[in-house]
Amino acid sequence: MEETLTYYEPLYSRIDAYTALRDQLPELETTEGLVRAAVAVSMHELEEADIFSVDSVIEGLAEQVRERVASNNPRALLAHAHCVLFDEARFRGNHGDYENPGNSYLPVVLKTRLGLPITLALLYKAVLHRLGVPVVGINAPGHFMAGVPARASGSYAAEGGISIVDVFSGGRLLTRAEALDRVAQTAGADLLLDERADLLPVATHKQWLLRIIRNLHNGFERRGQHDDRHAMAEMMRLVQTHA
């Protein structure tokens, strides 16, 4: 007999947000599924959040790059994507208001062009995916980064043929040593003492989404927003228990 998962109505999450998140979980390991799941999380606070509007903005950014590149050359696509995203649109890290929950909500990031490393990396992935350039998340402690194939960046290849991109700092390409220095700055230099630790692991989409939700959970806890904290705990359980 086939086993089915039982989903419970949430006590703290907005039902529309919870349901939208649940509906995206079967497609979570696709880029589109991850983006839509992240938008669903934002719907807890943003009643006007709309997956289709987010999709339209992402497609518009990708189209700006396509208009400038006559071929499918990954180096050209990556270079022009960096120009569009970081030089012209000026997507960047929100250093001045890092704790703002809006930094974790993709619809807000698209509007303000400010965000956390993890949401900026998601935007970066979503745009480049439409251009045929694969992007992975680098689930480093304290500072999420992105990874692109070394053939697309042309330099700064890290282990496994992946080049590391710090989307929080304007899309700067990092050497492995520079990426580890970012980890030391944000999460503590003691982490570097364990030579066995993998401090630059590639994130699964499930890990990526859970880290976004966990950031919100911890931020709400620090601000004493207990109902919102409980809502994020419900969403984390939903994601964690999905097979």
pLDDT one digit per residue (tens) for the chain, 243 residues: 344 445 568 999 999 999 999 999 999 999 999 999 999 999 999 999 999 999 999 999 999 999 999 888 999 999 999 999 999 999 999 999 999 999 999 999 999 999 999 999 999 999 999 999 999 999 999 999 999 998 877 764 555 688 999 999 999 999 988 999 998 888 777 767 666 668 899 999 999 999 999 999 999 999 999 999 999 999 999 999 986
* Stretch (H or E) spanning 164: strand 162-166
Structure tokens at 211: 């880290």
The pLDDT of residue 102 is 97
pLDDT, position 9: 83
Q: Is 167 helix (H, G, I), strand (E, B) or coil?
A: helix
Q: Give the Cα separation of 94 and 219 in Å (integer).
A: 15
pTM above 0.85, yes or no: yes
Pairing of strands 145-149, 136-138: antiparallel
Residue 143 is classified by DSSP as S
- Identify whether the C-beta of residue 93 lies closer than 8 Å to the C-beta of residue 109: no
pLDDT of the residue at 127: 98
Which pLDDT value is given to residue 4? 46
Rg from Cα positions in the chain = 18
Q: Which letter, b or e, does each residue of 16-36 get, where b requires 16 or more Cβ atoms within 10 Å of its Cβ?
A: ebbbbbbebbeebeebbbbbb
Predicted confidence at residue 193, as pLDDT, reads 63
CA angle 104, 105, 108 (to 5 degrees): 120
- In terms of Cα–Cα distance, which of 97, 124, 95, 98 is closest to 110? 124
What is the per-residue pLDDT for 39? 98
**CA-based nearest residue to 213, from 104, 106, 115, 94:** 104
Phi-psi region of 72 (alpha: psi -120 to 50; beta: other; left: phi over 0): alpha
113, exposed or middle or buried, with CB in 10 Å at 0-12, 13-18, 19+?
middle
pLDDT score, position 196: 66
Locate all alpha helices (DSSP H) within the chain, ordered by sequence: 15-24, 31-42, 51-66, 74-82, 106-112, 117-130, 150-153, 176-187, 205-222, 226-241
